[in-house]
Chain A
C-alpha cells in the first residue's frame, strides 16, 4: 500500500545520477534499484543500459495523444536503435531548470509536441548514435567512418567486428557531443513514419498504469476541497467544528481566499465531512451574472464600433453596401467543460526545506513555478513528478489544483497529501471553452461572385485571462485561429477580394481556458456553415463553391477534394442519408471532413465521417488515425451536448448527467485519410475537431432544411414540418 510507484523512483534516480544534483530525497531506495538505474546517459535524450535497453527521455506529457510513442520514434529513428528495446521516462521540470533547460519546452498543448520539438529530439538521437559509434571506433582503434550502426549493433565493416550499444554506452557518455549533427530525410525513415504500436498500452489494460489519482506515498493523507461555487467568490466564513472530530478527519484548512479543504485518511471521509460543513461565500457583484446577461453583452459586441482587426483585404464594408445580393447570419458557441475522465488532483509533500508535487500536468514547468510560489521556496528546492494524464484537452495546462495541493500540504508539513477533486468540483471549476458569437455578412455581385465578407466575432479572450502579457496592443491574436492571412499556424483559405474579420473582446466572469481545438472550434463552424449558407443562397454546390474560392490555396483544396472523392460527393447517397462538408486549417495542419447523417422524426444519427489531414509529416499514421477518430468524439460531443450555463453567478452543470457526452451508440464510422505532403510539420491532436461540427451541421441542413446556428444540438428540434 505504501510503496512508491516504480516510475517515480526511477525518475528520482535519474535526477541524482544524470543531473548530479543534490535533491535531498525523502524516499529511501534499495541499492539494487540504484545500481540498476545508475547507467550514465549518453546525452540528455538517451540512456542505454548494459542489457541494451534504450531509455528515451520524453519532455512532453502523455495524455492519450501518443506523443510519448511519436517522440520516441523520432529519437529512435536517428539513434538507429532496436525499437523492441525502447522504453521512456520523463525528466522532471526541476531537472530541466537545473540543466539550463536541456530538454527545452515541457508544455504540452496546441498540438505542438512533435511539430515543435522534432528537430532537437531527432538531433538528440543522432548525436547519441554518433557518440556510440565513436566509442566503438575508439575501442577498436579504427576510423569512425569505417563503422556503421543499425538496430543497436555497431559494426566495423572491414573487419566484421561488432558490438552493441549497451556495451559502449558508458564510454560514449564520456565523449564530447558532436557539433555537426546531420539528420535523415523523411524518405529514409524506418521507425518514424511507420504505424507502430504505442509504447504504453499494456499497463492501461491491466490496472497497473499509475495516474496522479493513484499515487501512494508513505504516511499519505487525502484532502477534499470546496472552492467557491460563486464565480470568483471568496470564503466568508465556515464552521470547522462540523467536520472536525469525525472519523478519519485530521484537519480543516482554508485554502487561499476562495476554498476550504478537509484533510483526512480517505476520500469518502473527507468528502462527506466537507459536504456537511457549513461554508458562507461572498460572490460580490458576480451573483448577478447569468447566461442571459453574458449573451446580451456579447450581442452588443456584434455591432460595436471598436474591434481588433485580424484579417483585412479591400474594403468589405463599402463592398457590402454596394453588393447586389447580401446574406447575413448570426452564430454562437457556448461555454464548455473539458471533463477529463480523471478529475483534477495533485499530491504534495511540503517541508520547510523542500516541496515536491506528483501530478498530472500538461505544463510541468508552470506546475513547478506554482509549486515554488505556493510553498514560498526557491524553485531549486522544489520539483514536480509528472504522471501520465487521465485526459488533458488543455485543462491541465492550468496549475490551479497544484497551487491548492501545495497550500493544503503547507499546513501539514512533512505529510504527503493527495488533493482529490470530485467530478462536481471539476466541472464547476473549469477554465471553460470561451463563449462566442459571430455575425457574418456576405455580398455578391450580379454574376454571383462572392465579393465581400465581414465576420464580426464578439467573444471572450482566453489570452486576456491566462496570458495577458501575450496580448498585442490589447488584441488577442488567438481569437483569429484559422482566419488570418499567411499564418503557418492556420491561414484563411478563401480568397475574397473584400474581407474584414474583426473581434470585439467581451470578457466575462467565467474563467476561460484552452479547450482541445480552442478557437478553431467555433471559427470553423462560423466560416464553414456560413459558406454552406452562401452556396445554397446562390444555388451553387457547396463543394464547387468552396473549390472556386480555395483555388489560391492548393493544400486547403487538396484535403477538401480528398474527402469529397472518398465520400462520393456529387454521387447519390444511400436512401435517407445526407452529406455535409467542411474544411479548415489549424495547428499548422490542413483538415477536411464529409459527414453523412440521417434525421428521422427529429432523431439525428451521424453514420459516417470521412476525414482528411495533411499534417506535413506523419510520424505514426496509425496513431494519427486514432487521434482523428477521437477528435470527432470530442467535437461531436460538443456539437450534440456541450454547454455550460450560468445562473446567479454559478456554473449549473455539475456532472455527466447534466453535461452529457457522446457514447458508443452515437459513434459514427470514421474513415481517416492521412495525406502528408512531407514539406512541413503540423499538429495532429486538435485540428480535425474543428471540422466535426460544421460538417454535421451542414449535413443536417441538407437533410432537414434547418440551419442550426448555435450548438449544442440537444437544444434544437430537428423535426421537419
Chain B
C-alpha cells in the first residue's frame, strides 16, 4: 500500500511501487485531467505540481512521492474559483483540441509562482510543453495576461 496525497485528499493504493505517478493518478485515483502523451517526460501533457513544483508525472514512480503534496489540474482552482491562469486561458480562448492544456496550464501556474512577471525569454526557457495544434502564440499572450491580472 502506498499513501498518496492528491489535491489535499489522501489515497491508499495497492500498486506496484514502480508505477508512474501519472497512471496512478489516472487509473487508481481516477482523475483523468492529467494526460498521457509520451511516457518519457518529453511532451509535458502529464505535468502536475509536486510540493508546488511542476513535474512530469509519467516519469516519476509513485513510490517517490508518497510523502509529497500532489496537485493536479482538478485541484488548481481554489474553493471553486479558477486559478488566474485558467481565467486567462478562458478569456483568450487558448485551447484548440485541449489535450495538452492541462499540462500547459500546470507548467504555467508553477512558472508564475516562481516568476510572477516572466519575460518572453523566461517563458521560452520554462514552458517546453508540446502542443501539436500549435497554440503557442495564444499561450504566450495568456501567460502575460495572467501575469498582469
Contacts and interface: CB of A to CB of B under 8 A. Distances in A.
Contacts of B89: 201, 205
B129 A213 contact: no
Contacts of B105: 205
Interface string B67-98: 00000111011000010001001100111111
Contact of B32 (A198, A214, A340, A631): A214
Nearest to A342: B99
B98 A626 contact: no
Nearest to B23: A268
Contact of A390 (B93, B98, B139): B98
Interface stretch (A365-373, A452-460, A661-669): A661-669
A655 to B, nearest CB: 6
A341 B40 contact: no
Interface string B2-46: 000000000000001001100100111011111111111011010
Given A268-B20, A632-B134, A206 B77 contact: yes
B66 interface: no
Contact of B33 (A206, A269, A420, A667): A206
Contact of B101 (A204, A213, A340, A657): A204
A490 interface: no
Contacts of B32: 207, 210, 213-214, 216
A342 B140 CA distance: 22
Nearest to B142: A205
B33 A656 contact: no
Contacts of B50: none
Interface in A199-219: 200-211, 213-214, 216
A198 B137 CA distance: 17
Interface stretch (A58-66, A289-297, A545-553, A571-579): A58-66
A103 interface: no
A209 B31 CA distance: 11
A205 B96 contact: no
A1 interface: yes
Main secondary structure of the interface of A (DSSP, over half): loop
B139 A664 contact: yes
Contact of B93 (A211, A622, A633): A622
Contacts of B101: 204-205
A275 to B, nearest CB: 12
A423 B89 CA distance: 27
B1 interface: no
B147 interface: no
B63 interface: no
A670 B136 CA distance: 10
A665 B93 contact: no
A201 B90 contact: yes
Nearest to B95: A204
A207 B97 contact: no
Given A656-B130, A657-B40, A247 B45 contact: no
Contacts of B125: 665
B124 A422 contact: no
B137 A631 contact: no
A656 B40 contact: yes
A697 B91 CA distance: 35
A657 B43 CA distance: 9
Nearest to A5: B32
Main secondary structure of the interface of B (DSSP, over half): loop
B123 interface: yes
The residue in B30, B36, B76 that gathers the most chain A C-beta atoms within 10 A of its C-beta is B36
Nearest to B73: A207
A511 B73 CA distance: 37
Given A629-B134, A669-B137, A423 B38 contact: yes
B90 A202 contact: yes
B70 to A, nearest CB: 14
Interface string A620-651: 00100010011111100100000000000000
A343 B99 CA distance: 10
The residue in A208, A339, A423, A662 that gathers the most chain B C-beta atoms within 10 A of its C-beta is A423
A121 interface: no
A669 B141 CA distance: 11
Contacts of A422: 39
B127 interface: yes
A384 interface: no
B54 interface: no
Interface string A658-685: 0001111101011000000000000000
A458 B32 CA distance: 45
The residue in A1, A267, A657 that gathers the most chain B C-beta atoms within 10 A of its C-beta is A267
Interface in A256-276: 266-269
B95 A201 contact: yes
Contact of A388 (B20, B82, B97, B132): B97
B97 A64 contact: yes
Given A339-B132, A633-B131, A667-B140, A64 B39 contact: no
A133 interface: no
Contacts of B64: none
B38 A266 contact: no
A203 B137 CA distance: 20
A197 interface: yes
Contacts of B45: 341
Contacts of A66: 96
A197 B90 CA distance: 9
Contacts of A622: 93
Contacts of A340: 97, 99, 132
B97 A391 contact: yes
Contacts of B33: 206-209
B89 to A, nearest CB: 5
B16 A626 contact: no
A333 interface: no
A198 B93 contact: yes
Contact of A268 (B16, B31, B134): B16
A90 interface: no
A393 interface: yes
B138 interface: yes
B129 to A, nearest CB: 7
Contacts of A200: 98
Nearest to A209: B98
A389 interface: yes
A64 B98 contact: yes
A664 B27 contact: no
Nearest to A392: B97
A330 B77 CA distance: 55
A213 B23 CA distance: 12
Contacts of B129: 663-664
A341 B134 CA distance: 11
Which 3 pairs show the lowest CB-CB distances between chains A and B? Answer: A207-B33, A633-B134, A204-B98
13 contacts: A1-B30, A206-B76, A206-B82, A208-B33, A216-B30, A269-B16, A341-B133, A388-B98, A622-B93, A655-B42, A656-B42, A663-B128, A667-B137
Given A208-B33, A213-B32, A656-B43, 20 more contacts: A1-B30, A66-B96, A206-B77, A207-B33, A216-B30, A267-B36, A341-B37, A341-B99, A341-B132, A423-B38, A629-B138, A630-B134, A637-B132, A655-B39, A661-B132, A662-B136, A663-B128, A664-B123, A665-B125, A667-B137
Interface of A: 1, 62-66, 197-198, 200-211, 213-214, 216, 222, 247, 266-269, 339-343, 388-393, 420, 422-423, 622, 626, 629-634, 637, 655-657, 661-665, 667, 669-670
